Copies of this chain bind each other. A is one copy, B any other.
Amino acid sequence: MIHHWHTLVENRQSDKITELLADNVVLHSPVVHTEVKGKQLVSLYLHAAFHTFLNDSFQYVREFNNGNQYVLEFSTEINGITVNGVDMIVFDDNEKIVDFKVMVRPLKAINLIHQAMGQMLEKLQTN
């Protein structure tokens, strides 16, 4: 299950994100309360996240597992700001992602992510 996700991240294969998502996947962003729902929108959001977070400094630093649920803690540096966060990923019985939650600290990093993700989503949607 989770090794599929790790493979995607390690190889920066944003084009393969959609294959890993369940139709009814829900994404909980670190910034907004309202959920992002459905394969198409979540895929777009994760595409933007790949382009925003996954520079050379990105690495997963801790991993936790409980049944079909995973917590992956990551660390990365964006524009000189240290970003520390967790990806909380739930798989369904078909090994597809049904729930994806992201939290980020500290406040400075969230404000950065808020801005950078907004710009990236805009860019992806107008392309």
Taking beta carbons and an 8 Å cutoff, which residues of A are in contact with B? 28-33, 62-66, 69, 71, 73, 82, 84-86, 88, 101-111, 114
Contacts and interface: CB of A to CB of B under 8 A. Distances in A.
B73 A106 contact: no
A85 B64 CA distance: 16
Contacts of A106: 29-33
B69 A62 contact: yes
Contact of A86 (B86, B107, B108, B109): B86
Q: Give this chain's copy count.
A: 2
A123 B64 CA distance: 36
B84 A28 contact: yes
Contacts of A65: 64, 66
Given A28-B84, A69-B62, A114 B107 contact: yes
Contact of A82 (B33, B84, B88, B101): B33
Contacts of A63: 66
Contact of A107 (B32, B64, B71, B88): B32
A66 B69 contact: no
Nearest to A65: B64
The 3 A-B residue pairs with the shortest CB-CB distance in the complex, in nearest-first order:
A64-B64, A103-B103, A103-B105
